């Protein structure tokens, strides 16, 4: 290491400490990096970038290309144009149900599970005896993996013939006629709702913790000021706390959308996504990653899921960039 280097680097920590140096000085700082630093820096940025490009974007592009083929994973790749897409949109009977179920999942989370989590967070944020106990109780499902959640709820929902807990309990309590016991997982008009309840059981706790962390960081003097101005608790939350929580709110929305789009585990555990539990992610798995090996067909579903996912991603990014510009 040359003697001059420590000096050359001197402004870097200083500027980081000061935080608001003029752009001119910043430019100078970069120009002062010697060759070795530049190589090092480009390696440090380049390697993760290359990994990212290779593992995310290259794979995405490959998926898009494969969606126009009927590759089976082994034999030579043959292009079939938009055949996979026309099949999905027209004759394949499990595609639209999968789209519908993903949308139902999103709406259920946005309209019920997420508000429920926020409500719990607001309630538990108040001085309350045993708040930590309640928090733990609601948070425990989040610690469990979705595969375990799926397994737990599968046991609850089993039909009477399989000794499911809910049906057995309802019959024992006389709330249900054993001759017309509800088939929670087998009835294709009901099972998606049963699964949504199971998924929400976990999601509510997740949202609660995220929101609670945000609430704890709200400056108490704001509430005080609102109270002095005569605002009641509801008004304080709606007009003061909620707006202050804007960054957390965005995170909550993004988390909710992501959880809905990547819905997979519970339905897959229950019946591999058949019979009313079709989901886009499971269609991909069952087509492309199972014994079927329909990689082209599965890729087409993946591209559609990607397209749907792009909508919230673009909305989120545009919001983030707008706030950065301000």
275 burial via Cβ count (<10 Å: 0-12, 13-18, 19+): middle
Q: How far is the CB of 99 from other proteins (least distance, A)?
A: 14
List the structure tokens of 208: 């609660």
Among 92, 139, 242, 316, binds other proteins (CB under 8 A): 92
CA distance 143 to 137: 11
Among 103, 272, 311, 323, binds other proteins (CB under 8 A): 272
CA distance 314 to 180: 47
Task: Please say whether the dihedral angle defined by the alpha carbons of residues 54, 57, 60 and 65, taken in this order, is positive or negative.
Answer: negative
Nearer to other proteins, 162 or 247 (CB): 162
Among 158, 212, 245, 266, binds other proteins (CB under 8 A): 158
Choose the stretch contacting other proteins; rule: CB under 8 A; options: 76-84, 138-146, 211-219, 226-234: 76-84
DSSP state of 69: B
List the structure tokens of 234: 């509801």
- With a CB cutoff of 8 Å and minimum separation 6, the contacts of 204 are 113, 116, 117, 120, 138
- Beta-bridge partners for 79: 69
* CA-based end-to-end distance of the chain: 42
- For the CA atoms of 259, 263, 265, 271, the dihedral, rounded to the nearest 10 degrees, stands at 160
- 136 lies in the binding site for other proteins (CB under 8 A): no
- 271 lies in the binding site for other proteins (CB under 8 A): yes
Contact by Cβ (8 Å): 132, 209: no
Nearer to other proteins, 10 or 213 (CB): 10
- 291 lies in the binding site for other proteins (CB under 8 A): yes
Among 99, 121, 185, 198, binds other proteins (CB under 8 A): 185
Choose the stretch contacting other proteins; rule: CB under 8 A; options: 20-28, 233-241, 248-256, 282-290: 282-290
Q: How far is the CB of 74 from other proteins (least distance, A)?
A: 4
- 91 lies in the binding site for other proteins (CB under 8 A): yes
Choose the stretch contacting other proteins; rule: CB under 8 A; options: 86-94, 106-114, 137-145, 312-320: 86-94
Continuous segment of H or E residues that includes residue 88: helix 83-89
CB atoms within 10 A of CB 296: 24
Nearer to other proteins, 41 or 133 (CB): 41
Q: Which of residues 94-113 bind other proteins (CB under 8 A)?
A: 94
Sites of contact with other proteins (CB under 8 A):
1, 5-6, 9-10, 13, 36, 40, 70-75, 78, 83-84, 87, 91-94, 157-162, 181, 183-188, 191, 270-275, 278, 282-283, 286-287, 289-294, 296-297
């Amino acid at each position: 290491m040359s003697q001059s280097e420590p000096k050359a680097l001197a402004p870097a920590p200083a500027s980081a400490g000061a935080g608001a140096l003029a752009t001119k000085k910043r430019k100078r700082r970069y120009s002062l990096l010697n060759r070795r630093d530049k190589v090092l820096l480009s390696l440090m940025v380049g390697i993760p970038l290359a990994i990212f490009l290779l593992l995310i974007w290259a794979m995405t592009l490959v998926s898009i290309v494969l969606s126009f083929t009927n590759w089976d994973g082994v034999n030579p790749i043959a292009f079939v144009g938009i055949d996979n897409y026309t099949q999905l949109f027209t004759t394949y009977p499990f595609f639209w149900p999968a789209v519908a179920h993903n949308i139902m999942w999103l709406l259920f989370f946005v309209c019920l599970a997420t508000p429920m989590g926020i409500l719990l967070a607001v309630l538990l944020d108040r001085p309350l005896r045993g708040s930590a106990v309640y928090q733990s109780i609601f948070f425990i499902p989040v610690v469990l993996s979705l595969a375990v959640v799926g397994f737990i709820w599968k046991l609850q929902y089993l039909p009477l013939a399989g000794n499911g807990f809910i049906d057995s309990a309802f019959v024992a309590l006389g709330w249900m006629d054993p001759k017309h016991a509800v088939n929670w997982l087998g009835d294709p008009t009901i099972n998606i709702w049963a699964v949504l309840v199971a998924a929400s059981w976990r999601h509510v706790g997740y949202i609660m913790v995220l929101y609670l962390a945000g609430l704890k960081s709200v400056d108490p003097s704001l509430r005080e000021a609102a109270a002095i101005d005569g605002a009641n608790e509801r008004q304080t939350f709606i007009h003061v706390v909620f707006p202050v929580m804007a960054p957390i709110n965005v995170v909550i929305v993004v988390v909710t959308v992501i959880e809905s789009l990547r819905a997979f585990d519970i339905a897959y555990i229950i019946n591999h996504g058949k019979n009313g539990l079709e989901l886009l992610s499971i269609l991909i798995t069952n087509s492309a990653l199972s014994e079927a090996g329909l990689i082209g067909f599965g890729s087409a579903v993946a591209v559609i899921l990607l397209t749907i996912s792009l909508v919230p991603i673009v909305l989120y990014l545009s919001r983030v960039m707008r706030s950065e510009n301000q």
